Structure 1
Amino acid sequence: MKIKSSPRSAKSLLAHAAFAAVLLSASLVTTAQAAVLTSLRPLGFISAAIAEGITPTEVLLPDGVSPHDYALRPSGLQQIRSADLVVWIGPGLETFMSKSVAQLPPNRVVDVSAIPEVKALLLTRQDEKSHEHGIRDTNESGDNHKDEQYNMHLWLSPEIAKLTAIAIHAKLLELMPQKKDQLDANLRQFEDELTKTDVKLGKMLQPVQGKGYFVFHDAYGYFEKHYGLSPLGYFTVNPEIQPGAQRLHQIRTQLVEQKAVCVFAEPQFRPAVINAVAQGTKVRMGTLDPLGSGIALTKDSYVDFLSHLTSQYVSCLK
């Protein structure tokens, strides 16, 4: 006897089929998620070079967003949990990731600040104050930074970037040993390109090494020390907090006395306070982008990032 399907059972079958399709789609999305997840875009530049042709790289923070005072979203938490390898600076900068990363096994994490060779290169606040030639940190910016704390903007050091690449290579090699030849080749190419670019940028920056300037916040210590630049100081330690009146008066005095040729703002933070302080002086206004906003993740993106930052310095200081 032939059994006829009722309209209700047909609808039920369609509903089940639709639900199964959704589950399959979600499964495909999950498996397609990045094998390497970096906290910040510049770390994504380094990871993309090492993982080129092997596995994708994604960045946790949206483009142009600063890690200072960032709040982790549920989608970001899921990204951290599902990634094969998470690369971050460490708890000294991305406090919003600390709990989530602590739950991952060590072989799935690269903590840049914890790399033994990097520890020896960390700059303290005292190091930076001795490097600056003008205004020191009077700590009146309203933050809790102490002199013994480290500058955690580690990706701005070409030397630390190389050590980071080596650490990422080692972790990926552990996770996928069958890709050894490609990983080795990628690391060699990254190191070679970085060495050549470093020499070129050093020559570009040499003519402006003695020229004084102010930056918006203290992100650039490693880059400045590496290339022998002459910062006079910065407006604030924490870019989320406006500098105090005494700091602004000190900066204004130096600008009036023409001790600085440039004041740099940032794409993420364009405070009116910089324009107000520089108004009526001969100082030029420039922009530095410490996060490489808009630069695509490719095998050459880190050296492109350094080159772009160098051009921003030179265009204002030269």
Structure 2
Amino acid sequence: MSMQRFQQSHDSACMPAALRLRSRAPWLCAALLTGALGPAAAAADVPRVVTDIAPLHSLAARVMAGLGAPEQVVRGGASPHGYAMRPSEAAALASADAVFWIGPELTPWLEDTIGTVAPDADVTALLHAPGATVMAFREGPVFDNHGDEGESHAAHDDHDHGHEDHQGHAHEGHSEHGEDHTEEAHEDDHDHAHDHADEGDADEGDADEGQAGHDHAGHDHSGEDPHAWLSPENAKAWLDVMAEKLAELDPENAEAYAANAAEGRAEIDAAAEDAARILAPAKGARFVVFHDAYHYFEHHFGIHAVGSIAAGDASDPGPARLEAVRAMIRDLGVTCVLSEPALSPAVVRTVIEGSPASAGVIDPLGGDIPSGADFYPALLRDVATRLAECAG
């Protein structure tokens, strides 16, 4: 059957209710009739919202509480750096009236997909949204954290990345941060590890990218760090951005969106206070993370990893980088090395062999936390708890 005939045969059945906000592709109509898009499709007057990752899904769920339920593209337990969408996820994206995502800095593969699958959706990239703080990736396996010079308040009210329609969200010219960093308190201890770090950087290109389900094509881990959801302040700013955007699309519920965002901010403040108490025993601890995904969390709570096994995009580390990490663990007296659930613990066992460091597991995406409005506050507490248990 031709696409034109398919559309003619299905438009009359779908258009009045499920497609009230916007006409969709005919194949999606069939998905709507079978309920593939879930409860959000039933609320015809409420915008259909899709997010990329679980933390943003949680924030959207908080803003939409009592009105609708957002969809999520990257499922829990999967790496956002490289992901193959399932048909149901593509269908959800195609049906979206609003898309909230971190941006191409985290999921470069998703940028073209949004333009192709959801060309009419209102797309908001949150990394540079008003009120958000953007930080730089840290270079090499050994971090220089003093002062967090990588911080960049790049998102101002006049910044147009956050609220633009998809047609203009190409994000041209992402700047790389070349700031010089000063040494942290243990400068002398870093010298030997930095010698190895130089070797690790040179060898980084030898890593077999694409293993463990990662596809890092086009992902730049030398510039802006997209793991910004682990900043409670960023999350609170994004609640407001979401509420304002949904109010534009659905003015009748503007007050409800604003009230929900206010409740969400209070919940995040409470969770951040809990996390700070949990982390108190770990202040000053020397720990290593698997990949550079926790800079925002560390900066907010005043704790600092001394290095990472892999770069910020979680690409597989080469042998020289692993040797640099082993030297760092030995020379800096590291007490904790944190892996992640989707990754093999063998790498961590290798780098801590012969040292007194313990191994822990931490998940920046909260794969084991139930999805929904309560997810984000739970994520802050979970990351703090796992870090404190290993490093405290």
Report the TM-score, using the length of structure 1 for normalisation.
0.83
- Work out whether 1:253 is the aligned partner of 2:309: no
Please give the residue correspondences for 1:129-168 in structure 2 after superposition, counting only pairs within 5 Å: 129-131=143-145, 133=184, 138=198, 139=201, 140-142=203-205, 149-168=223-242
Determine the structure 2 residue equivalent to 1:12: none
Determine the structure 2 residue equivalent to 1:228: 302
- When structure 1 is superposed on structure 2, of 76-85 and 159-168 the one drifting more is 76-85
User: What SS does structure 2 have at the residue aligned with 1:202?
Assistant: helix
Determine the structure 2 residue equivalent to 1:291: 365
CA distance in 1, matches of 2:76, 2:363: 12
CA positional deviation for 1:255: 2.5
Equivalenced residues, count? 298
Determine the structure 1 residue equivalent to 2:134: 122
Cα contact 2:57–2:72 (8 A) shared by 1: yes
The 1:250–1:145 alpha-carbon spacing in structure 2 relative to 1, beyond 3 Å, is: farther
Determine the structure 1 residue equivalent to 2:51: 38
CA positional deviation for 1:244: 2.2
Q: Residue type of the partner of 1:192? A: A
Cα contact 2:100–2:123 (8 A) shared by 1: yes
The 1:127–1:199 alpha-carbon spacing in structure 2 relative to 1, beyond 3 Å, is: farther
Cα contact 1:212–1:232 (8 A) shared by 2: yes
User: What SS does structure 1 have at the residue aligned with 2:76?
Assistant: coil
Residue number among 351, 358, 374 corresponding to 1:300 in the alignment: 374
CA distance in 2, matches of 1:45, 1:181: 19
User: What SS does structure 1 have at the residue aligned with 2:224?
Assistant: coil
User: What SS does structure 1 have at the residue aligned with 2:341?
Assistant: coil
The 1:30–1:213 alpha-carbon spacing in structure 2 relative to 1, beyond 3 Å, is: closer
User: What SS does structure 2 have at the residue aligned with 1:230?
Assistant: coil
- When structure 1 is superposed on structure 2, of 265-274 and 125-134 the one drifting more is 125-134
The 1:127–1:187 alpha-carbon spacing in structure 2 relative to 1, beyond 3 Å, is: farther
CA positional deviation for 1:267: 0.5
Q: Residue type of the partner of 1:29? A: G
Cα contact 1:37–1:60 (8 A) shared by 2: yes
Cα contact 2:285–2:391 (8 A) shared by 1: yes
Determine the structure 1 residue equivalent to 2:6: none
The 1:63–1:229 alpha-carbon spacing in structure 2 relative to 1, beyond 3 Å, is: same
Cα contact 2:53–2:72 (8 A) shared by 1: yes
The 1:106–1:310 alpha-carbon spacing in structure 2 relative to 1, beyond 3 Å, is: farther
Instruction: Please list the CA deviations of residues 98-123 of structure 1 after superposition, one character each: whole Å capped at 9, or x if unmatched.
Output: 013235568722210231332xx211
CA positional deviation for 1:281: 1.7
Q: Residue type of the partner of 2:298? A: E
CA distance in 2, matches of 1:261, 1:31: 46
- Work out whether 1:113 is the aligned partner of 2:127: yes
CA distance in 2, matches of 1:25, 1:46: 26
Determine the structure 2 residue equivalent to 1:277: 351
Determine the structure 2 residue equivalent to 1:29: 35
Cα contact 1:40–1:61 (8 A) shared by 2: yes
Structure that is richer in helix per residue:
1
The 1:315–1:156 alpha-carbon spacing in structure 2 relative to 1, beyond 3 Å, is: same
Q: Any unmatched runs of 5+ in structure 1? A: 1-19
Q: Residue type of the partner of 1:270? A: S
CA positional deviation for 1:305: 0.9
Cα contact 1:239–1:269 (8 A) shared by 2: no
CA distance in 2, matches of 1:192, 1:106: 33
CA distance in 2, matches of 1:258, 1:297: 38
Report the TM-score, using the length of structure 2 for normalisation.
0.68
The 1:175–1:164 alpha-carbon spacing in structure 2 relative to 1, beyond 3 Å, is: same
Cα contact 1:141–1:241 (8 A) shared by 2: no
CA positional deviation for 1:145: 7.2
Determine the structure 1 residue equivalent to 2:391: 317
Cα contact 2:49–2:99 (8 A) shared by 1: yes
The 1:26–1:106 alpha-carbon spacing in structure 2 relative to 1, beyond 3 Å, is: closer
Residue number among 97, 117, 134 corresponding to 2:110 in the alignment: 97
CA positional deviation for 1:156: 0.8
Structure 1 residue ranges (4+ consecutive) displaced by more than 6 angstroms after TM superposition: 143-147
Identical aligned residues as a percent: 29
CA positional deviation for 1:125: 2.7
CA positional deviation for 1:211: 0.5
CA distance in 2, matches of 1:278, 1:30: 46
Instruction: Please list the CA deviations of residues 71-110 of structure 1 after superposition, one character each: whole Å capped at 9, or x if unmatched.
Output: 3344433221102221110011111210132355687222
CA positional deviation for 1:253: 2.2
Determine the structure 2 residue equivalent to 1:188: 262
Q: Residue type of the partner of 1:245? A: P
Q: Residue type of the partner of 2:51? A: T
CA positional deviation for 1:200: 2.5
- When structure 1 is superposed on structure 2, of 160-169 and 109-118 the one drifting more is 109-118
Q: Residue type of the partner of 1:96? A: W
CA positional deviation for 1:33: 5.8
Instruction: Please list the CA deviations of residues 175-216 of structure 1 after superposition, one character each: whole Å capped at 9, or x if unmatched.
Output: 211112321221111111112222232232122120001111
The 1:130–1:277 alpha-carbon spacing in structure 2 relative to 1, beyond 3 Å, is: closer
